[in-house]
Chain A
């Protein structure tokens, strides 16, 4: 006798495959195809209520549910980590309602749902990266009216965004935006890359994987096809640049990855570790094996 929703989901016929009904999946699939045909344009879709609150990845989950199949291997990350609450619950959700294999390894995954990071390990063709997006409209903080922002996109009238970046330089001496840094997709649409650190923006450019973005509360889907130019906005005399650390990762020693700063005691001692847990663990594993083989050689 199934006594939890999860058990019912496993019970044949209690839920449709991958939770959403076929009519909803078709609607979302059509929206995804239009999003791919017009890169960076936000396609409205009939977002459904999902069994978790807005802000927890309902947009990304609806995309994943519409594309995922029994042959897929799913990875879910939250701020780069596979082991945080949001990532664990979404991964378990799909393991139950879609019966898919799950993994924490970027290389093994066919579908990667992410909140706020792009994996450090380069993606390859055939992989699909699904972003959870809180606010899909990059101009929203500058213009609250949807009718106006829609017209600005239609006319490709993006002066207001350049002015906001200029004001940031005038006030702070540099563009101070550190995450959700606006990008121009294929020279036409300004797009919100979701709240990824600007450190990840260069990874969006000409990425061989397909990028799908889902906003559940705002009911928008947009996409960046493989190999598509994605340019971070800047000025000739203030070129876009990513953040750098003087430290390296305390666990794996990486100087290339995005680092989280941890305060580990009451004295204010700081440690820096990779935000991408899979990348960090792969490197530690490789170092351990190398150390072992060197030890073996010496004996």
Chain B
């Protein structure tokens, strides 16, 4: 039996037009103010092992036009069925084909093999959602760049030792590069490629 049993699939957005609008505005706020921790309003229930924020992010932005790559830790039948049913997206096995990806921070190198766009079309790049244990309480990192008045701080936990160096290499590709979203619980932080991250 290979079909999707609908009784096993968790519900998506209760009111798609309005819920996705509110969620998008919160995500846009996060992208406009990198480093700012935003709390997603009325995020739907999480589909374990995904967090509520990652689940909401996928429901808000992913659809049949945007191939999605799942880290092995998230590649469970429940997650696959949920995402396929609610978004209609194509789940791809190759990182380079994906426009969105759900990652765990232990992947090394973290950003490797994802689309970075081209100099002529830097928008053809992947947006990576990295699930971390917490967005606060970790070693502080300084952020500078568009959207930040002076300097902002990020102190997420669970990021690898190589994160700052990898992020610097990604920023050096500008205007190419991947955009990063860190999620924990129902909260989210965006780190677009334009941002400089320093220890």
Contacts and interface: CB of A to CB of B under 8 A. Distances in A.
Interface of A: 16-18, 22-23, 25-27, 29-39, 41, 43-44, 66-71, 126, 150-151, 153-155, 186, 188-189, 206, 208, 210, 224-228
A100 B4 CA distance: 39
A1 to B, nearest CB: 25
B21 A226 contact: no
Interface of B: 16-18, 20-22, 24-25, 27-29, 31-33, 60-61, 63, 65-66, 118-123, 125, 127, 145-149, 174-175, 179, 192-194
A37 B194 contact: yes
Interface on chain A toward B: helix, strand, loop, or mixed SS?
mixed
Contact of A44 (B18, B118, B123, B147): B123
Contacts of B17: 16-18, 22
A39 B122 CA distance: 11
> 4 closest pairs, A vs B, by CB?
A37-B192, A154-B119, A225-B147, A34-B123
B148 A227 contact: yes
10 contacts: A17-B18, A25-B21, A27-B65, A36-B146, A37-B31, A41-B175, A67-B25, A69-B25, A154-B118, A228-B146
B27 A188 contact: no
Contacts of B120: 150-151, 153-154
Contacts of B121: 44, 150
B20 A225 contact: no
A188 B171 CA distance: 13
Nearest to B127: A33
B135 to A, nearest CB: 19
A65 to B, nearest CB: 10
Given A154-B120, A186-B146, A226-B149, A38 B175 contact: yes
Contacts, number: 110
B175 A36 contact: no
B179 A33 contact: yes
Given A39-B146, A153-B120, 15 more contacts: A16-B17, A17-B18, A18-B17, A25-B20, A26-B60, A29-B24, A29-B61, A33-B179, A36-B192, A68-B21, A69-B25, A154-B118, A189-B175, A225-B146, A227-B147
Nearest to B87: A26
Contacts of A17: 17-18, 21
Nearest to B178: A37
A188 B119 contact: no
B17 to A, nearest CB: 4
A94 to B, nearest CB: 13
A32 B147 contact: no
Contacts of B20: 22, 25-26
B68 to A, nearest CB: 13
Given A67-B25, A210-B32, A227-B149, A38 B18 contact: no
Contacts of B29: 126
A208 B149 contact: yes
Listed residue (B17, B22, B60) with the most chain A CB atoms within 10 angstroms of its CB = B17
A41 B122 contact: yes
Contacts of B24: 29, 66-67
A39 B194 CA distance: 8
Given A34-B123, A150-B120, A226 B194 contact: no
Contacts of B16: 22
Given A38-B193, A70-B18, A227-B146, A23 B63 contact: yes
A26 B61 contact: yes
A26 B63 contact: yes
Contacts of B193: 37-38
Nearest to B65: A27
A186 B194 CA distance: 10
A69 B22 contact: yes
